[in-house]
Structure 1
């Protein structure tokens, strides 16, 4: 009886509420589709950022619709479903928004009968199964504090891992005061804790790092990344608009030259010239006292000179080895690091800072419009 005293008849079946999927069912659905849209030929990654907030944008699309007038609902009994079983994963496909809309829209749903969608689901999940045996499950960490937010993750090559989830920090960093850099360090620590918690929660084997932020923050973040899991660190190719890591096109001719000026001083300046050239006179504007120095220079420095993982690891390893050889011979109070290079290498250099061997590492931020050009940012 309604508020007017009228008796209203309802279909008892229609009153039944959909049950929520269990955590295990949600996880199974995500892994079975590889975190990609199951619509034939799409394979869109289903981790995206909307308004700067990273989220799982996968839509759980029903093959046989639950509501009376929903797409393909009329086939419920023919395919052996009941209202209680329509929420089982065998009747669900994870899709991007566009394709979930297409298969359910009244104008287009007739093009997608149950047989077609069941076959599409089976084909996609079999394809995922064929390569997911050897593919590890990952959690993404997006650290983008320069420019606008990243809305999706587009790889140069096929996705190397099954991406389960992600954490992010995409607020633009624009406070270059001492307080601003301290805030940046605290934000890094909070983000890192969330990242590790997510890895443990999902039992992921890989952390995928997507960095595009001021260099001191990236080196500090790298110093937080322990060997809890293996990491795959990407570089952003601005021209292509893609994230890149491994490639057969890695530069085979990269050479890193090392020059030293060691006079048994108490502080060491490290100059790393990869994307551009760190000039000694710019360093001397900041460090006015007497110092030792070690310079790492790549031949023909440029923005795209060092992109792929093999090259990054080679350069990081040589920098780390050379500095640690010096640290065995000299007792420095401080190391001052001046860097012109890609974001991925900055993360790796930060990861290589061993607090049991290295003294305090002072990091500097470069801005051509400031005087001096290098300003102290933070220490690790």
Structure 2
């Protein structure tokens, strides 16, 4: 652990005419910073031992690329820092793992992380699973506690003014997370894509419009279905309720697992979901609650929670599909 200096001043054009890459300008450029690159001894030896591979042109390009990269990184404005938050509760027997470097590289170059490590909102080594009522209660409590103590406090004390959110998990809990990180705060939500395997937002020019299908009869109890990731949920919920409910559906032209490609779509969903809540409240003035069933991208589930207006909206009863039961079960209620 002793302090030491292992950096070498390496010359692109050798400091001697007889040295590696030396020539007529060697003496003139021997102390010129434009002709110097900083290398470790091993790399210094490497470039000097293979002049055919590490030519003057190659080394000049390496120097130029590196200097441009450093200039770009150090030019980020201090106000562009962001608190990186990852949410990944246990799903079945699996707990999602987040790689710090992947998350940090995703927000860069638009933002840079406030802290050296992301805030992870998850319970480590939980013995509960999503088939137990206690699981939902425990996760709700974890979301509220961690958001209040770690995230919202950072906004309040001025540590950050922006959050970069990476969510994975059961959709009812993602909605709950969205209500905690509501639209009073500046939060950028990222969507995990399967193809390509990335958290980065993709093509802004994608055409897959999201729209609202209203029920012909609004005299029965209201039910909201998000049919964005799959179409099958529409038939399943229609079969579950028959003619006992007024079913509102938010869907898109091409439902699918990777339908959410760009932030423009997420903003379209935001506006449509808010309008749907207003329309449902107007159409069902005497309703006691709104039952919600979801097959949607994770970013949409979080965004649904963020648009909620506690004083204006009906209580939400959130359901989750259980494959082993082939049924949607009640999980949490948001009042």
Q: TM-score, normalised by structure 2?
A: 0.71
- Asked if the contact 2:212/2:276 (under 8 Å) is kept, the reply is no
Query: CA distance change for structure 1 residues 309 and 120 in 2, over 3 Å: closer, same or farther?
Result: closer
Deviation at 1:121, TM superposition (A): 10
Q: Distance in 2 between matches of 1:228 and 1:335?
A: 23
Aligned residues of 1:244 and 1:307 also touching (Cα < 8 A): no
Q: CA deviation at 1:129?
A: 3.7
Aligned mates of 1:127, 1:297 — CA distance in 2:
41
> Within 2, Cα distance between the matches of 1:233 and 1:298?
20
2:307 is aligned to 352
Pairing partner for 1:159 from 90, 109, 115: 109
Structure 1 residue ranges without an equivalent (≥5): 1-65, 74-102, 112-118
State which of 115, 120, 126 in structure 2 corresponds to 1:168.
Answer: 120
Deviation readout 1:307-364 (Å, 9 max, x if unpaired) = 3111011023112202212202422101000110100010000111111111110111
Q: Deviations over 1:78-100 (max 9, x none)?
A: xxxxxxxxxxxxxxxxxxxxxxx
Identify the residue that residue 207 of structure 1 maps to in structure 2. 163
Stretch deviating more after TM superposition (318-327 or 167-176): 167-176
* Superposition RMSD in Å: 3.4
1:108 Cα offset (Å): 6.8
Query: How far apart are residue 280 of structure 1 and its match?
Result: 4.8
For residue 251 of structure 2, give the secondary structure of its aligned residue in structure 1: strand
> Please, which of 253, 259, 269 is the counterpart of residue 315 of structure 1?
269
Mapped contact 1:278–1:339 kept (Cα < 8 A): no
Give the length in aligned residue pairs. 276
Structure 1 158/141 Cα, relative in aligned 2: closer, same or farther at 3 Å?
Answer: closer
The reply on whether 1:149 has 2:97 as its aligned counterpart is: yes
Contact 1:139 1:199 in 2 (8 A): no
Alpha carbons of structure 1 residues 305 and 123: separation in structure 2 relative to 1, 3 Å = closer
| Counterpart residue number, 1:67 | 2
Summarize the Cα distance change of 1:295–1:121 in structure 2 as closer, same or farther, 3 Å threshold.
closer
**Pairwise CA distance, 1:254:** 1.9
Residues 236 and 250 of structure 1, relative CA distance in 2, 3 Å threshold:
farther
Unaligned 5+ runs, structure 2: 8-38, 47-63
Task: Output the TM-score relative to the length of structure 1.
Answer: 0.63
Per the alignment, residue 93 of structure 1 pairs with none
Q: How does 1:198-347 map to 2 (within 5 A)?
A: 198-200=154-156, 203-245=159-201, 247-265=202-220, 267-280=221-234, 282-283=236-237, 290-331=244-285, 332-347=287-302
